[in-house]
A = this chain, B = another copy of it.
Amino acid sequence: MAVIHTDDSGDPRLDDFRHLSTADRRPDRPGGKGLVIAEGTVVVSRLLASRYPVRALLGVERRFAELAGELAGTDVPQYVTSAETMADVVGFHLNRGILAVADRPAPLTVDDVVTGAGTIAVLEGVGDHENLGALFRNAAALGVGGVLLGPGCSDPLYRRSVRVSMGHVLRVPFGDLTDWPGGLDDLRARGFAVAAFTPRPGSVPLRELREHAPGPVALLFGAEGPGLTESALAAADHAVRIPMPAGVDSLNIATAAAVAFYELASGG
């Protein structure tokens, strides 16, 4: 146990936790990307249980006590301080009371993400950090094996995505699909049927997807609004829609994904 009490907000050992509102941009770090930041006991405990190398924790006594079980035996530095000092360090009052920071591990390969998975999600142009985080939460809740990020997606390890995902971005395997849309052919070669979501008439109602794709499925989603590109749609095996009444535009992307994850998870 490395428990360190400090009330000096200038303590250089707390530098990883400074100015959280801009912590996602770190020109001094590899790729300009920030550390992974977990906020609150639920997300911190998921980080501790993950493959991510935790660097340090900062929090108030009460929150450390709630995590005593998860922290037993770890030698990660645990900086215990007051809510006021914590606010001085991070730049605002953080009512979750505990933070952990971790390094980014080596990215997973497509192989790592898809091997053994029954259903995966593949995203194109999903730039909104909240939608991305929510999609990972839904993937975890509904048994999706992994997420592949095509072009135009934002970084699932941004602070806001980690928070909205409830820490599930740290559990659900993800990686980049850099060859686009050619990487979809690679998924097909691995045994996945590629099903692209689009409101177009003529696409298969989600309820019937299982009849066409009884094995592993890669569910392909574009951003709310623009949707998938023509080239992505052309590279898919099936076009799928969630039937909706006239006059309704669409569901939020993370919600549409949840409905699709549910449909495939529940057997069909």
Q: Chain A interface (Cβ within 8 Å of chain B)?
A: 42, 134, 137-138, 140-143, 166, 168, 171, 205-207, 242-245, 247-252, 254-255, 258-259, 262-263, 265-267
Contacts and interface: CB of A to CB of B under 8 A. Distances in A.
A172 to B, nearest CB: 10
Contacts of A171: 247
A95 B206 CA distance: 35
Nearest to A245: B143
Contacts of A140: 245, 248
Given A140-B248, A248-B168, A134 B255 contact: yes
B244 A141 contact: yes
Contacts of A267: 207
Nearest to A207: B266
Contact of A244 (B142, B205, B249): B142
A266 B207 CA distance: 7
Contact of A258 (B137, B168, B255): B255
A255 to B, nearest CB: 5
A221 to B, nearest CB: 15
Contacts of A255: 134, 138, 254-255, 258
A206 B266 CA distance: 9
Contacts of A250: 141
Contact of A248 (B141, B205, B266): B141
Given A141-B251, A258-B259, A262-B262, 19 more contacts: A134-B252, A134-B255, A137-B252, A141-B244, A141-B245, A142-B244, A142-B251, A142-B259, A143-B244, A166-B249, A205-B266, A206-B262, A207-B266, A242-B262, A243-B266, A251-B258, A255-B255, A259-B259, A259-B262
